[in-house]
Amino acid sequence: MQPIIKIESLSKKYKDAEMYSLNDVSLDINEGQIFGLLGPNGAGKTTLISMLCGLVKPTSGHFTIDGLDYQHQASKIKKIIGVVPQEYALYPTLTARENLHYFGSMYGLKGSDLKDKVIVALDLLGLLKFADKQVQTFSGGMKRRVNLIAGILHNPKVLFLDEPTVGVDVQSRNAIIDYLKELNQNGTTIIYTSHHLAEAEDFCDTIAILDQGQIYAQETPSILIESVKDARNLEDVFISLTGKALRDDI
């Protein structure tokens, strides 16, 4: 399998920060994978995803997405990636349909193609009957689903998900995970971060555990569990690798 994302010695040190948030990380993510990035708070997950999405510039290192170089082909990269941020990145006073039409149009989708894609996605995630309601009236789970659709309308080759199921009920979580699995089966590579380890264990085919800006382990969930003595699940592996100390950071 070809790596769709190739990361070489990527580092990031924020201005005025004493330590590197990401330190010399190299990683290959293969096409069609569901790749989980797990780690405690401040581990460097969001920094890594932000750099891959073009939100933050690396201090050093290099990466390519689908063979496109981030330094010279950033606008081409943006066309083939989808991003689902952790916060509801939606206009609260616009309806679900209006939000999706707007964000879809920013990818160049237009006319009946855009309208149809919005209807299909809303229907699949059980939101079609609420399509013309303002997003501010939605529950957390409904907002999460609209947030997800806004990132995948253009059928991205690579989808970045930053905690896509945080704060939602079981039903919404199942709907989101099922939809993501379907997307993956249709060829979308997914890079996913979460603090929900059971969900990651079930959803991801490869997991990287990140802490203090470095990758501690990278394997399939089952191999990771087997590799740690007495580990029954991913949570045991996680604690074993990252420790029990609190990671409060300001």
Partner 1 sequence: MIYKIRMSVVKEFLLLKRDLGGLIILFVMPLVLVIAVTIIQDSTFKTVSNSKIQILLVDKDQGSVSKTVFENLEKSSYFTVVTQIDHKAVTEEIARENVYRGKFQLAIVIPENLSSDLQTKVEQNVEKIVSNLGLTDSISTAEPQRIIKEKEVKLYFDPAVQMSFKNAVMSSIDKMISQIETKSIYSTFQKQLGEETINFEQKNFITFKEIIPRINNKEVLPNSVQHNVPAWTLFAIFFIVIPLSINIVKEKTQGTFVRLRTNPVSNLVVIIGKTITYSIICMIQFYMMVAVAVFLFPSIGLPSLNIEGHFILTSVVALFSGFAAIGYGILLGTVASTQEQSAPFGATSVIILAAIGGVWVPVFAMPKIMQYIAKSSPMNWGLEAFYDVLLRNSSFVEIIPQISLLFLFFIITTAIALFYDKKKRTV
Tell which positions 58-77 bind partner 1, by CB under 8 A.
Answer: 75
> Would you count residue 216 as binding partner 1 (CB under 8 A)?
no
> Would you count residue 101 as binding partner 1 (CB under 8 A)?
yes
Smallest CA-to-CA distance from 56 within 15, 7, 9 is with 15
> What CA–CA distance (Å, rounded) separates 75 from 146?
24
In the complex with partner 1, the residue whose CB is nearer, 107 or 216, is: 107
Single out the segment in contact with partner 1 by CB under 8 A; choices: 1-9, 49-57, 119-127, 206-214: 49-57
In the complex with partner 1, the residue whose CB is nearer, 89 or 239, is: 89
Q: How far is the CB of 168 from partner 1 (least distance, A)?
A: 17
> Would you count residue 129 as binding partner 1 (CB under 8 A)?
no
In the complex with partner 1, the residue whose CB is nearer, 1 or 250, is: 250
> Would you count residue 93 as binding partner 1 (CB under 8 A)?
yes
Token digits of residue 86:
């952790």
Q: Are strands 81-84 and 158-162 parallel, antiparallel or unpaired?
A: parallel
Q: How far is the CB of 216 from partner 1 (least distance, A)?
A: 26
Q: How far is the CB of 201 from partner 1 (least distance, A)?
A: 28
> Would you count residue 90 as binding partner 1 (CB under 8 A)?
yes
> Would you count residue 48 as binding partner 1 (CB under 8 A)?
no
Q: How far is the CB of 57 from partner 1 (least distance, A)?
A: 5
Q: How far is the CB of 13 from partner 1 (least distance, A)?
A: 10
> Would you count residue 6 as binding partner 1 (CB under 8 A)?
no
In the complex with partner 1, the residue whose CB is nearer, 64 or 134, is: 134
Note the residues at the interface with partner 1 (CB under 8 A).
Answer: 14-15, 53-57, 75, 78-79, 81, 83, 85, 87-94, 98, 101-103, 105-108, 110, 134, 150-151
